[in-house]
Amino acid sequence: MDSEDLRAQQSVAALRQRIGALNGDALDLILREARTHNGWTPRPVADETLRQLFDIMKMGPTSANCSPARLVFVRSEEAKRRLAPALSSGNLKKTMAAPVTAIIGYDLHFYDHLQYLFPHEKDARSWFTSSERLAHETAFRNGTLQGAYLIIAARSLGLDAGPMSGFDNAKVDAEFFAGTSVKSNFICSLGYGDPSKIFKRSPRFRFEDVCQIL
């Protein structure tokens, strides 16, 4: 056995000894009581916070570790002006007022990085280059998983998140990803939310409505 394999096994066993599960407050923070935010306090989001955010989200699982998400953090007034024409009317004002808005994109040519990301399978690139449909689906699915990890990572750090898909993807692609193989997926404002802008929570399905145990 490789010594790095052994180290990985010890690390997982140690994790289990340190912590068995999240407590109620932690569950509330990342999912149960967390809310999509529409209003923001003026408190800014530092470069260092965005780096911490990425260092957490990047560890989430993707198929063959393909990690197709590509992020643009729109923070300056100039960058916001470039984003504005792509936003739906309902999303414009709140996005301009957010400290930062992440554009979560996915790279259709993610497979060009598999030699680095998935080094133990030398043929991994060929799994995806043979079918454009599979490559697109893999990029979109896994880039979206990473978008969810970003939302959870933000909340884990005490940030609030306001994810949105109400915008013109083609306009964002032309403005921010021209000449690349990256396509926009969704956008997500990040900052410290203003609780007075929260609305009541919408209903959720019951287990019986959408789950089966077979």
Which positions from 2 through 31 interact with a copy of itself, judged by CB under 8 A?
A: 2, 4-5, 7-13, 15-16, 18-22, 25-31
Binding positions for a copy of itself, 172-191, rule CB under 8 A: 185-186
* Interatomic CA distance for residues 191 and 36, integer angstroms: 11
Distance set, CA 57 to CA 53, 111, 139, 144, 190 (Å): 6, 20, 16, 12, 14
Whose Cβ is closer to a copy of itself: residue 178's or residue 214's? 214
Q: Which of 84, 96, 97, 152 binds a copy of itself (CB under 8 A)?
A: 152
Give the contact letters, 49-68, x = binds to a copy of itself (CB under 8 A), - = no: -xx--xxxxxxxx-x-x-x-
Q: Which residues contact 96 (CB under 8 A, 6 or more apart)?
A: 80, 84
b/e burial code for range 121-137 (CB count within 10 A of at least 16 → b): eeebbebbeeeeeebee
> Among 89, 123, 130, 199, which residue sits at the site for a copy of itself (rule: CB under 8 A)?
199
Interface residue with a copy of itself, options 40, 72, 111, 184 (CB under 8 A): 72
Q: Which 89-118 positions form the footprint of a copy of itself (CB under 8 A)? A: 113, 116-118
84 binds a copy of itself (CB under 8 A): no
Q: Among 84, 97, 156, 181, which residue sits at the site for a copy of itself (rule: CB under 8 A)?
A: 156
Instruction: Indicate the SS3 state at residue 102.
Output: strand
Size of the site for a copy of itself (CB under 8 A): 98
Q: Which of 93, 119, 122, 170 is close enough to bind a copy of itself by CB under 8 A?
A: 119
Residue placing its CB nearer to a copy of itself in the complex, 9 or 129: 9
Angle, helices 132-156 vs 47-57, to 10°: value is 120
**To the nearest whole angstrom, how small is the minimum distance from the Cβ of residue 83 to a copy of itself?**
9
In this complex, which beta carbon is closest to a copy of itself, that of residue 93 or of residue 121?
A: 121
The rounded distance, in Å, linking the Cα atoms of 4 and 28 is 35
Residues 47-56: contacts with CB under 8 Å, at least 24 apart: 49/157, 49/159, 50/100, 52/157, 53/150, 53/153, 53/154, 53/157, 53/159, 53/190, 56/149, 56/153, 56/156, 56/157
Residue closer to a copy of itself by CB (options 93, 134) is 134
Nearest alpha carbon to residue 101 among 18, 4, 55, 166: 166
Residues from 121 through 150 that contact a copy of itself (CB under 8 A): 138, 140-141, 144-145, 147-149
